[in-house]
């Protein structure tokens, strides 16, 4: 059996834009690796997704803003974002990879 893929492998040393890589695409679920290096949501932009999302921070650090507060994330921290809960990425660690694993599924 070949070595399994590693979620921390193959990260470019510099990223102009946040990197989103699908790992699993299915009609019922999408799993993706997200790599940020100081990337944030555009000013005034809020995600308002029609699907639910669970995200775990694998490496780095990040700050996610919700309409009712802020969550600081360090490696191992995870959170569930219900469908249509407005949120944005306020901050990610500059100059180093912040690696997220995100799981998306249809809202009930």
Q: For the chain, what percent of residues have pLDDT higher than 70?
A: 100
pLDDT tens column, 13-38: 999 999 999 999 998 999 999 999 99
Name residue, tokens 């005034």. 44
Please name each of the domains of the chain with its CATH number: 19-106 (2.60.120.10)
Per-residue pLDDT tens digits for 56-70? 999 999 999 999 999
Residue 7 to residue 86: CA distance in whole angstroms? 27
Q: What is the pTM of this model?
A: 0.92
Residues ≥6 apart with Cβ < 8 Å to 53: 80, 81, 102, 103, 104
CA–CA gap between residue 18 and residue 90 (Å, rounded)? 13
């Amino acid at each position: 059996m070949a070595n399994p893929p590693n979620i921390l492998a193959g990260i470019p040393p510099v990223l102009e834009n946040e990197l989103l890589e699908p790992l699993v695409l299915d009609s019922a679920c999408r799993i993706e690796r997200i790599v940020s290096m100081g990337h944030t949501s555009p000013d005034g932009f809020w995600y308002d997704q029609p699907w639910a999302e669970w995200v775990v921070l694998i490496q780095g650090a990040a700050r996610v803003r919700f309409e009712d507060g802020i969550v600081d994330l360090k490696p191992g921290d995870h959170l569930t974002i219900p469908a249509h809960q407005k949120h944005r990425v306020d901050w990610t660690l500059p100059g180093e990879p912040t690696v997220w694993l995100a799981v998306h599924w249809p809202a009930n």
